[in-house]
Homo-oligomer: A and B are copies of this chain.
Amino acid sequence: MNDTFLRACRGEKTDYTPIWMMRQAGRFLPQYRKVSEKYGFLAMCRTPELAAEVTIQPVDVLGVDAAIFFSDILTTVAPMGMDLRYDEGKGPSFANPIKSKADVDRLTVPDPEETLGFVYKAQKILTRELANRVPFIGFAGGPFTVAAYMIEGTGTHTFSKVKTFVFTQPEAFKALMDKVSRLTASYLEMQAKAGSNALMIFDSFAGVLGPKDYLEFNFPYVKRIITDLKKTGVPIIYFGLGQHGGHAAVGKCGADVIGIDYNVTLDAAIAHLGKDVSVQGNLEPYVLLQSKEQIAARAKDVLARAKKARGHIFNLGHGVPLGTPVDNAKALVDTVHELSRR
């Protein structure tokens, strides 16, 4: 197996900088769209063969050094008792958003092997199919991100409901975080058992709370999940999008790798994070819409800024944009490999 990605996670020497891309298993790939148009998003997530198929596609097409397990960030919420819906073109929503401590109390913390067996099965397929190729990364939403969806009930850019909840019902919010975190930990542990070679926590809404409140209402739960997962022995990646003020703290969450979004300078982030962690990121994703020369120049800049990192996994600072030409994504992979070998 190409273990470059795993070596970089652990801060070991590598022959070149490994690369994969957030949302590489996504709509910009014609192969993905073919599956998606036939089956729809939820069926893809919940059918082991389909989830495995789209997870492998970017390994075949782009030559990335790791696969990211294709899954919904809200996979864990339906078994907890949330009525999750996907309406065409509208994203996820809940008919029964969390509004009170009583709503939190009604949520269950199920055994993921009983309720999320389709993920286990999909990853068993990946373990077999990717065995001699590249590692694959198991995946869950960060507990704050999942809790925020449960409270908002639908997409938002103001986050007024979750912020109101946090500041007016702090104990109920912590009870919610506790339940979500427990399931997140056992869900990721199940993925390691199924064969995930690394585990990543995507905390897309980590920037919704400022540094002080992040440290009270989010960070302790992330840290506890990661502590629980140490026994799996696989590298753990934490990506807290937008949590710029808490970088020094984020480096202490126990993860082997910290994801860095596009909105910070990578060398500055590395200086804040210290020497105990590797980093993953942070190319501006929309650079993928530019020319191959421009992509190469930007990749070179990111590589140069990563020089002082314990280990660096090249990635975007957010997901692959929808209109990305496949050739450009492929060119980025090749250019990162080539530039970093020198």
Contacts and interface: CB of A to CB of B under 8 A. Distances in A.
A90 interface: no
Interface residues of A, number: 35
Nearest to A287: B167
A167 B213 contact: no
A168 B245 contact: no
A163 interface: yes
Nearest to A162: B286
Identical copies in the complex? 2
A262 interface: yes
Interface in A143-178: 155-157, 160, 163-164, 166-168
Contacts of A284: 167, 209-210, 212-213
Interface stretch (A51-59, A63-71, A81-89, A316-324): A316-324
Contacts of A323: 164
Nearest to A159: B286
Given A163-B321, A164-B289, 15 more contacts: A156-B157, A163-B286, A164-B286, A167-B287, A207-B263, A210-B263, A210-B264, A211-B263, A211-B264, A213-B284, A243-B263, A244-B244, A245-B264, A245-B265, A245-B268
A290 interface: yes
Contacts of A338: none
A158 to B, nearest CB: 9
- Of A210, A245, A262, A282, most buried by chain B (CB within 10 Å of CB) is A210
B322 A160 contact: yes
A156 B317 CA distance: 19
